[in-house]
Amino acid sequence: MDSPTDIPTITVTLPNALYARIGNRKSVSASGRTVREIIDALDQNFPGLRFNLCHETGEVRPYVSIFLNRENIRSLQGLDTPVFPGARMHILQSVAGG
Amino acid sequence: MTHHRAYAQGTVLILVGTKRGLFFLTSQDREKWNVEATTLKGRRIYHAVLDQRDGCRLFAADNGDFFGSFLRYSDDFGQTWQEPEHGIQFSPDSDQKLVNIWVIEPGRPSEPGTVYAGVDPASLWISSDGGKTWEPNAGLMSHPTRDRWEPGAGGLCLHTIIPDPSNASRMWVGISAVGCMRTDDGGRSWVFANKNTRASFLPTLYPEFGQCIHRLIQHPSRPNVLYQQNHCGIYKSMNAGDDWIDIQQNLPSEFGFPIALDVHHPDTLFVAVEDPEARHNIGEQFTVYRTENAGATWELLTEGLPTGPGVRLGVLRHAMCTDAKDPCGVYVGTNTGQLFASRDRGDSWHLIADFLPPIYSVTATALG
């Protein structure tokens, strides 16, 4: 069983549209072993944030992009992508439109 | 410094939901109007309504392009907004996901804490605490025909809710493209109420369900009298939706989205029928149509409305309303951002706002 110290804590940067959700900040810290766990942890601290990022059915919303160390998780293992200590997560709104 | 927004008693407040934000128009005399943007900017506001049953709570259906749809409410005329503690979100095991929130409807005067909302995918949501927590209506979610419901062009949306003020167990909803449905047991079960309304886009012209209802309204003092603007006709029911009578009469098109009535003279109704293919005014004259005899005949209202070879205006389902004054005001917003108003029940019109984003909804309230 993992001890709390085995669970990575990383910095997550969010887009301007979600600053209000996290207390008018640009980035926050969260702990988890996968992207899914990071989102779970964010939602614990900032209720409603998961619904901003994911549909009720679990998948990431189509115009939300999550990058882990500059790699889009869609090209990794999606929400099951492992998170390692020192990683940086960027959550962005995708380009939509022309 | 925060400006405290306050309005004098009797002010008419029009809430204008647009493709890019919520706007207010206010007037003391319905002649000079003040236009204000609100802090809900950049969002698709499908509907907004002011609930004055117990205070003054403003509700908005805020559909974001990126980060989800949220019902929001404000007790300070839109300066600050709150999210429900338990909002409109499907259960993770329901296999449903919220697409858009289409309409918010305050409940009956006898149930001041109750608020209803209609969404895509077609479902009715109920709050019993003024909007803080929301639950879906189970009877509609588990309707035995649900797996055969098909969306209209705007989605599988529940866009109209009429809680019958004379019967706490009765309610109607309008769903595109399912039709009119009614409950007589407080939402436990729902029946279709589409008899004699057409679905000319289906193999069967008069199916039990599958009609593309666009808007539904109730007579203010005869609760069994309903009117609807449908994709395929304008109809009246004298028996709570058991069957419908075609009242298109001399209207030049069966197709349109909104329908509204004068609450002081409820045989007076307004529609804005359109070219069904192009979805804008017929010909070169933007026109609102009025009946003063409950649909027996219709007249064209054009004084002050634009005309010319470039006039091609469309009106969406929630983008026309009346106020409760007498003579009633009529307000029509276009999908190109013009808002027209009449303060003489449609006899003459004025452009009271222009260059707005495409208008999705207008609701008018005289502040008490």
- Considering only the beta carbons, identify the residue of B67, B90, B92 that sits closest to A18: B67
Residue A4 confidence (pLDDT)? 61
Q: Is B68 on the interface with A (CB under 8 A)?
A: yes
Of B67, B87, B95, the CB nearest to A17: B67
pLDDT digits (tens, 9 = 90+) for B51-79: 999 889 999 999 999 999 999 999 999 99
pLDDT (average), residues B160-167: 98
Tokens of B321: 């309303």
The ipTM of this complex is 0.88
Q: CB neighbours of A5 closer than 8 A, spacing ≥ 6? A: none
Mean pLDDT of A45-73: 96
Assess whether pLDDT exceeds 70 at residue A1. no
CB contacts of B90 in chain A (<8 Å) are: 56
Inform me whether the pLDDT recorded for B205 exceeds 70. Answer: yes
Across the range B200-222, mean pLDDT stands at: 97
B83 and A48 within 8 Å at the Cβ level: the answer is yes
Report residue A22: phi and psi, to 5°.
-110, 30
Q: Write the residue in B68, B94, B96 that is nearest to A52 by C-beta.
A: B68
Look at residues B80, B88, B94, B85 and name the one whose alpha carbon lies nearest to residue B40.
Answer: B80
CB contact under 8 A, B67 and A64: yes
Cα dihedral A66, A71, A74, A77, rounded to 10, equals -110
Hey, are the CB atoms on A63 and B96 less than 8 Å from each other? no
Give the pLDDT score at B368.
84
Contacts of A63 in chain B (CB under 8 A): 65-66
Q: Name the nearest CA neighbour of B228 among B196, B263, B201.
A: B196
Cα–Cα distance for residue pair B300/B250, rounded to 1 Å: 10
- Specify the pLDDT at position B191: 98
pLDDT at B204 over 80: yes
Q: What is the pLDDT of residue B3?
A: 44
Tens digit of pLDDT for each residue in B93-115? Answer: 899 999 999 999 999 999 989 99
Given a cut of 50, whether residue B1 has pLDDT beyond it is: no
Percent of chain B beyond pLDDT 70? 99
Q: What is the overall mean pLDDT for chain A? A: 92
Average pLDDT, chain B: 96
How many residues would you count in chain B?
A: 368
For A17, name the nearest residue in chain B, comparing CA atoms only.
B67
Residues of B in contact with A61 (CB under 8 A): 66-68
List the single best residue of A43, A51, A52, A93 to mutate versus B (max B Cβ within 10 A): A51
Q: What's the rounded Cα separation, in Å, for the pair B63 and B69?
A: 4
Residues of B in contact with A64 (CB under 8 A): 66-67
**Within 10 A of A65 (CB to CB), how many other CB atoms are there?**
18
Cα angle at B52 between B262 and B338, to 5 degrees? 55
Return the pLDDT at B2. Answer: 41
Q: Give contacts of B91 with chain A, Cβ < 8 Å.
A: 56
Q: What is the DSSP letter of B358?
A: P
More confident of the two residues B5 and B325: B325
pLDDT at A28 over 70: yes
In Å, how far is A84's CA from the nearest CA of chain B? 26
Task: Kindly identify which residue of chain B lies nearest to residue A21, measuring between CA atoms.
Answer: B83
Q: What percent of chain B clears pLDDT 90, i.e. is strictly above it? A: 95
Q: Is the per-residue pLDDT at A33 higher than 90?
A: yes
Give the span between the Cα atoms of B59 and B72, in whole angstroms: 6
* pTM for the structure as a whole: 0.95
Burial (0-12, 13-18, 19+ Cβ within 10 Å), A42: buried
Query: Closest Cα to residue B320, out of B270, B268, B251?
Result: B270
Question: Nearest C-alpha of chain B: how many angstroms from A45?
Answer: 14
**What mean pLDDT comes out for the span A36-54?**
97
B87: chain A residues, CB-CB within 8 Å: 48, 51
